[in-house]
């Protein structure tokens, strides 16, 4: 029987949370913006070190701060993926507070930080612009091209095991 792990995708409105999930689960991308109301759940099984892990991926509605997310959505989370939009500073300017909130309220729960829409910048720009300590372990992804999407989900899965 596969091991089940709940992963919650967090971040502001319009950062590409749903697009990342669609790219990962369905290998699909759409330019159409679809607002997530409440929560949408997708599932994907992966194999890590001969162990099958069933990822239950919660795509929750975007909020300007994690503490505005419904507590019931976050209960029982085994791992978080926090997504920001590299083109919109308002989606990452309070990153320190957001990471502190997760650390204080969900101690020991792994978090992967994701800068999405990186196809709009060069790798060199991302590395030079995002110098702050919080960005050192960041994955730069593109839901549009699929760049680094698989790596994000594999990384959080390994951390949860």
Chain segment 41-88, per-residue pLDDT in tens: 999 999 998 899 999 999 987 776 666 667 778 889 999 999 999 989
Pairing of the two strands 3-10 and 51-60:
parallel
The parent domain of residue 88 ranges over 3-160
The span from the CA of 138 to the CA of 82, in Å, is: 10
- For residue 80, list its beta bridge partners: 8, 111
Tally of structural domains, the chain: 1
The span from the CA of 51 to the CA of 137, in Å, is: 25
Query: What CATH number is attached to the domain comprising 140?
Result: 3.40.50.300
pLDDT band at 11 (very low <50, low <70, confident <90, very high): very high
Please, which residues have CB within 8 angstroms of residue 30's CB and are 6 or more apart in sequence? Answer: 19, 22
CA nearest neighbour of 62 among 37, 26, 27: 37
- Is the pTM higher than 0.85? The answer reads yes
Q: Do residues 18 and 132 touch, judged by C-beta distance below 8 A?
A: no
């Amino acid at each position: 029987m596969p091991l089940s792990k709940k992963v919650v995708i967090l971040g502001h409105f319009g950062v590409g949370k749903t697009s990342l999930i669609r790219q990962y689960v369905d290998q699909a991308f759409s330019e159409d913006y679809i607002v997530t109301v409440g929560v949408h759940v997708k599932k994907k099984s992966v194999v890590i070190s001969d162990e099958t892990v069933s990822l239950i991926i919660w795509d929750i509605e975007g909020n300007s701060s994690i503490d505005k997310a419904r507590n019931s959505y976050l209960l029982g989370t085994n791992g978080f993926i926090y997504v920001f939009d590299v083109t919109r500073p308002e989606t990452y300017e309070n990153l320190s507070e957001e990471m502190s909130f997760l650390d204080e309220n969900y101690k020991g729960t792994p978090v992967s930080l994701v800068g999405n829409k990186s196809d709009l910048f060069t790798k060199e720009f991302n590395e030079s612009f995002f110098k702050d300590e919080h960005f050192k372990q960041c994955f730069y992804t593109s839901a549009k091209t699929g760049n680094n999407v698989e790596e994000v989900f594999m990384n959080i899965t390994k951390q949860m095991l």
